[in-house]
Amino acid sequence: MKNILTAFLLILYSIASAQDMKGMKMPNNGSPKQTQTIYTCPMHPEIQSGKPGNCPKCGMKLVPEKAKATIPKPDQMKMPKKDTSKKNDDMEDMGDMDMGDNSTTMENIKKAKLNLGSINTVSSNLPPRTVRYDLYIADTTVTYGKKTKRAIAVNGQIPMPTLTFTEGDTALIYVHNKLNEETSLHWHGLFLPNKMDGVPFLTQMPIKPHSTYIYKFPIVQHGTHWYHSHSELQEQIGMYGAFIMNKRKEWDIPTIPVVISEWTDMKPEEVHRSLKNANDWFAIKKGTTQSYAEAIRTGHFKTKINNEWKRMNAMDVSDVYYDTFLINGKNQNHQPQFKAGDKVRLRIANGGASDYFWLTYSGGKITVVATDGNDVEPVEVDRLIIAVSETYDVVVTVPENKSYEFLITPEDRTKSASLWLGKGEKVPAQKLPKLKYFAGMKMMNDMMDMSGNMIEMKGMKMQNQVMDMNTVMYPEVTGEENPKAKSKKTEMAGMQMPNDKSMAADNPDIVTLN
């Protein structure tokens, strides 16, 4: 029976391989001379293309590189051979590479500064002082998902209170542990005495149940940071919050701390156990199992067979299924106090346990002004991705007297959370399209042999972010999953269906920061 099954799979594999050969085009060695225009990415100059498009790493629009006087080598259009020159053997040898210019980036910075305009500042009238907070940690219950579950609140709220200081102050934080278990607090990204860092059994002993612990340290920096529990898995059930350190002279602009997080009705310990089991339960919950029916429908039957043959689980992006995503403790967070023309500074911290999040805005460009507490030259982007524990400061503008959506979307694009700025008619942001899981699966299969070992690819160095594996899965960058199988809806030329807010796959002008 085993031999019959093996033979059957081999036959299916052969059929799929033959189908893949049908659309293959062989290069024309007798083609005329190549064009001299080379397109490159301002952020990734090593990316080179003979035609306009988007960077496969970051999605930015490729720009023309300065024309060269050199003549293309005649062997560039030939099939590669095993004994090719060293140029193809080592991508790290870039000594002679023309890295292009950063004119597009500099233009972006100039435009961002111009659009920001002159922002007034306000100086702190108070001398450096000791600022005290009392934090009371206690059990609570919440219904963020479909069930009422246990959580941990600090001063009766989730997330924990935003702690605000001014550079030069001294932080004095009394932590009152009302739990029946140990706890601790870690101040993420802060420069402080080692004994105040808040890591149990490393820089301090845990804070015992029904006891008080005092953290005291100088504020010697500025920027957006956050803090969280460093005990067990308490962070995942509510113990996270924003930690803001203002400059002595700070922007006089409306500012909102934004803490992004996830919520699952499963106990954190159960999530941990499921991850160690390495099963497809979370993929089933998210509807991303990549079935045989979907594989056939999208033309990836061979990829599915390869995946099964190598006993690989379904292609995954974000490991855990979450019941909801939260912005400052709410899935839909409304801030109606803003009017047309207002500029709003969002101090964003990703307090999630496992998700990267895409940030997009329906009111126009997002201007990035700081990252991880450090000021940067402002740049305007259409979207950016924020990693776990990362922080960004961005400025957005409310164009009209309407309510504009600042959309938070996890990397797996299964759900989202929204921050609405302004009052009036709602202007939703474009939804990110479903990922091309089979494209990612195919890339993994091409990089791995039947034994699950990585294949040495000539010229490929798997470090220093040489390749962004997720990019092939983004329809808005690399096109639809199966463009030949268009529905009647998409074939109706020139017609835009109502309420279709998905991001266009053929948009060549998306400016991305990641």
Is-above-0.85 flag for pTM? no
Whole-number pLDDT of residue 308: 73
Q: How far is it, in rounded angstroms, from Cα 171 to Cα 194?
A: 15
Mean pLDDT per block of 10 residues along the chain (514 residues) reads 59 56 47 64 76 72 64 44 41 37 81 88 92 98 95 97 97 97 96 95 95 97 96 95 96 96 94 85 80 76 75 76 96 96 97 94 96 95 94 97 97 94 96 79 65 55 52 76 51 38 51 72
What angle in degrees, to the nearest 10, is found between the helix axes of 301-309 and 2-22?
140
The DSSP annotation for 174-200 comes to EEEE-SSS-B--EEET----GGGS--B
Q: Side chain identity at 251, as an amino acid letter?
A: W
Cis bond before residue 159 (omega within 30° of 0): yes
Q: Side chain identity at 319, as an amino acid letter?
A: D
Q: How far is it, in rounded angstroms, from Cα 300 to Cα 16?
A: 9
8 A C-beta contact, residue 221 and residue 167 = yes
Cα angle for residues 183, 199, 210 (degrees, 5° grid)? 20
Q: How far is it, in rounded angstroms, from Cα 294 to Cα 434?
A: 13
Q: Is 30 exposed, middle or buried (0-12, 13-18, 19+ CB in 10 A)?
A: exposed
Whole-number pLDDT of residue 45: 74
Helix (H) or strand (E) holding 325: strand 324-327
According to DSSP, residue 377 is labeled E
Residue 42's closest CA among 11, 25, 64?
Answer: 64
Task: Report the relative pairing of strands 383-386 and 332-335 from DSSP bridges.
Answer: unpaired
The number of C-alpha atoms within 13 Å of 386 and in the hemisphere containing its C-beta is 29
Q: Side chain identity at 350, as an amino acid letter?
A: N
In sign, the C-alpha dihedral spanning 498, 503, 509, 512 is positive
Residue 239's closest CA among 248, 230, 247?
Answer: 230
Question: Over the Cα atoms of the chain, what is R_g?
Answer: 26
8 A C-beta contact, residue 44 and residue 100 = no
Q: Would you state the structure tokens that stand for residue 184, as one six-digit string?
A: 């601790």
Phi-psi label, residue 107: left if phi above 0, alpha if psi -120 to 50, beta otherwise: alpha
